Amino acid sequence: MKNRLKVLRAERDWSQADLADHLNVSRQAVNAIETGKYDPSLPLAFKIGRLFGQSIEDIFDDEFQSPESD
């Protein structure tokens, strides 16, 4: 799953550790999400959305294509 976490973090000039502090998770968790090694749980995804004032869909892209769009 692709995401814009790194971009959003850079816009605020936050380090991974800063973002981890805001989300109350480890820096490793932030790194794993940014590098696509881990998809956050739904509660964490909502937390990220609230923190950046955006919807989950605006931050995460599950690359799902509906049959109609083919």
Report the interface residues with other proteins, using CB under 8 A: 24-26, 28-29, 32, 35-41, 43-44
- Comparing CB distances to other proteins, the nearer of 8 and 30 is 30
- Comparing CB distances to other proteins, the nearer of 26 and 55 is 26
- Comparing CB distances to other proteins, the nearer of 13 and 67 is 67
In whole angstroms, how close is the CB of 40 to other proteins at the nearest point?
7
Secondary structure of the chain in HEC code, one letter for each residue: CEECHHHHHHHCCCCHHHHHHHHCCCHHHHHHHHCCCCCCCHHHHHHHHHHHCCCHHHHEECCCCCHHHC
